[in-house]
Amino acid sequence: MDDVIAIKGIKEGLLLTIKPDGGEWMELTTKVTSRIDQQAAFFKGARVALDVGDRPLRPHELESLQALLSRRELTLWAVVSQSATTNTTARNLGLETSLIPEHEQMETVEVDPQETGTLGIVIDHTLRSGRTIRNRGNVIVIGDVNPGAEIVAGGNVIVWGKLRGRVHAGAEGNEQAVVCALDLMPTQLRIAGYITTSPDDKRRKPRPEMAAVRDGRIVAEMWKD
């Protein structure tokens, strides 16, 4: 076996790497298909990302590979390349040009690829009135969230302090998102499409609580050890 082509499993499915100086494209695609045909049952149904390095691919070259793969019931979904030509070709065919989903590309945080849901930010101070934090991941505040401050998170919201402002967890539709605080008294609390306000009880004692969606409504549960 030569190593101008390589196929390995990644979190997103299969990664097919074709060396940019590996020779003629037609030959290479033949090598790819023969490799796949050796273990047709194993590869069947896989999602394939293609890494061609800096090789410029023209539309008909990429299309032919895509056709060869789909005939074997493999789906090409992304092409990774340092070539602008290849990127344009891939985008014109409706393919991704990065393995990282677009909304996660905004984050600069290093992510362990073995973990999911680890994206987010930590705010190490109290959020005062007028401050808004928007993040597609989880938001952790070490401090209070004062009335007039707002957090909008794609994931969970954890406040190590008093939560009195507005908070929206799972803002992109994740109903599994939760909101936790040492003192949970938000002006308004939303999880995905659900919305609630805090009960107006002046005599309540501050206590750690977690709000989550249960049976179609938001409920706050006391944290138990």
Partner 1 sequence: MTARVITITSGKGGVGKTTTTANLSAALASLNKRVVTIDADIGLRNLDLVMGVENRIVYDLVDVVEKRCKLRQAMIKHKRYPELYLIPAAQTRDKTAVSPAQMIEVINELRPDFDFVLVDSPAGIERGFRNAVAGADEVLIVTNPEVSAVRDADRIVGLIEAGERKIPMRLIINRVKPDMVRKGEMLSIDDVVDILSIKPIGVVPDDEGILIGSNRGELLNGRAGEAFRNIARRLNGEEVPFLNLDGNSNLLQRIARLFGGSGG
**Which member of 117, 131, 174, 210 binds partner 1 (CB under 8 A)?**
131
How many of the other CB atoms lie within 10 Å of CB of 9? 9
Query: Binding segment for partner 1 among 50-58, 77-85, 111-119, 143-151 (CB under 8 A)?
Result: 143-151
Query: Binding segment for partner 1 among 35-43, 104-112, 141-149, 213-221 (CB under 8 A)?
Result: 141-149
Q: Does 128 bind partner 1 (CB under 8 A)?
A: yes
Contact track, partner 1, 184-203, x by CB under 8 A: ------------------x-
Q: Does 146 bind partner 1 (CB under 8 A)?
A: yes
For the sheet with 5-10, list strands across it: 5-10, 13-18, 47-53, 75-81
CA of 31: how far to CAs of 4, 9, 13, 93, in Å? 9, 18, 20, 23
In this structure, the dihedral spanned by the alpha carbons of residues 178, 184, 185 and 191, taken in order and rounded to 10 degrees, is 0
Q: Does 164 bind partner 1 (CB under 8 A)?
A: yes
Residue type at 160?
Answer: W
Q: Which two tokens stand for residue 140?
A: 């952790």
Q: How many residues bind partner 1 (CB under 8 A)?
A: 13
**Which member of 58, 125, 207, 217 binds partner 1 (CB under 8 A)?**
125
Contact track, partner 1, 72-111, x by CB under 8 A: ----------------------------------------
Q: What is the CA radius of gyration of the chain?
A: 24
Report the distance separating Cα 150 and Cα 12, nearest Å: 34
CA of 89: how far to CAs of 4, 6, 187, in Å? 22, 22, 49
Q: Does 126 bind partner 1 (CB under 8 A)?
A: yes
Query: Binding segment for partner 1 among 12-20, 25-33, 55-63, 126-134 (CB under 8 A)?
Result: 126-134
Contact positions vs partner 1 (CB under 8 A): 125-131, 144, 146-148, 164, 202
